[in-house]
Amino acid sequence: MQQDAYTPFCGTPPLPGELLTRWTLDPFLLVGLLAFAALLWTRAERRGQALSGAALVAFLFISPLCAASMALFSARVGQHILLTLIAAPMIAAALPKVRLPLWPLALVFALLFWGWHSPTPYAATLQSDLVYWAMHLSLTGCAIALFMGFRGAGAQAAVPAVFTAAQLTAFAVTLTLAPTVWHGWHELTALPYGLSALADQQLAGALMWVAGGGLFMVLVALQVRQLLRHDTLAQSAG
């Protein structure tokens, strides 16, 4: 584990026995989360759903999962799955329906997801609060916009949705099958959890492959169902 004067935002990597005590109650974080919830309250059409999404976002940064992401790359990937594939679509579905440039959003989301989990940018998030929050704000913001784009595009969302699912799967396969460790930070931090850094990395890939892929397919199925329902209502009205 790299040691220097800087302490990452979520703190030093916890040992298993202390993990459940590691709640992140930073006052700037709490104020930011409250401001985010207030903004959603003023913008959302379905306020209850928007606040549920905001509550999930808050949990992912306040709970011990934040500290766990300092010790395990798989915990960081799990956090990002929950942020981008559960919280983001919940929030997007609660906001007004708008037309957004879907293909650019899908491409930017792919670049962000691959880029932030690559060795150099990932290491930078462990050395700077600014970079750490740049990662999470860009991933979460782009994911919300992407799912708003899916919602507003109707049937035209099909191909970008397949592309997004494919690139997430490709990332998962690359991560799972990589023969070397991407992130040297976790070479020591994963050991107390009974994992080598490579095994932790493979677990992260498996989470993305199974959980991430499964969640995205459910989201696509819900989108198709909504389109079919819309077409049925339109035909009935006609």
What pLDDT, in 10s, does the model give residues 99-112? 999 999 999 999 99
What share of the chain has pLDDT > 90, as a percent?
Answer: 77
Per-residue pLDDT at 151: 86
Lowest mean pLDDT among 72-76, 100-104, 155-159: 155-159
Cα–Cα separations (whole angstroms), residue 200 to 122, 130, 197:
15, 26, 5
Region 170-180 average pLDDT: 94
CA atoms within 13 A on the CB side of 114: 15
Place of tokens 């930017």: 108
Question: What global pTM score does this model have?
Answer: 0.90
Residues 6+ away with beta carbon under 8 Å from 16: 192, 193
Closest CA to 80 of 214, 212, 213, 174: 212
pLDDT exceeds cutoff 80 at 223: no
Calpha distance 106→118 (Å, rounded): 18
Q: Is the dihedral of CA 44, 227, 99, 136 positive or negative?
A: positive
Given a cut of 80, whether residue 154 has pLDDT beyond it is no
Q: Can you tell me whether residue 81 is helix, strand or coil?
A: helix
For residue 40, what are its two tokens? Answer: 């959603």
Segment among 82-96, 113-127, 206-220 with least mean pLDDT: 206-220
Top pLDDT among 122 and 3 is at 122
Q: How does pLDDT run across 25-71, given as a tens digit for each residue?
A: 999 999 999 999 999 999 999 999 999 999 999 999 999 999 999 99
Q: What is the pLDDT of residue 238?
A: 56
**Confidence label for 124 from pLDDT (cuts 50, 70 and 90):** very high
User: What stretches of 44-157 show up as alpha helix (H) in DSSP?
Assistant: 47-62, 64-71, 73-82, 88-94, 102-116, 119-125, 129-153
At 221, is the pLDDT very low, low, confident or very high (cuts 50, 70, 90)?
confident
Gap between the Cα atoms of 158 and 32, Å rounded: 35
Instruction: Decide if pLDDT at 218 tops 90.
Output: no
Q: What is the mean pLDDT of residues 112-126?
A: 96
Structure tokens at 14: 């916890």
CA dihedral (79, 85, 86, 90) positive or negative: positive
Tokens of 4: 């220097």
First-to-last alpha carbon distance for the chain, in angstroms, is 66
Q: Taking 50 as the threshold, does the pLDDT of residue 1 lie above it?
A: no
pLDDT tens figures, 183-198 = 999 999 999 999 999 9
3-state SS assignment for residue 181:
coil
In the chain, the amino acid numbered 110 is: A
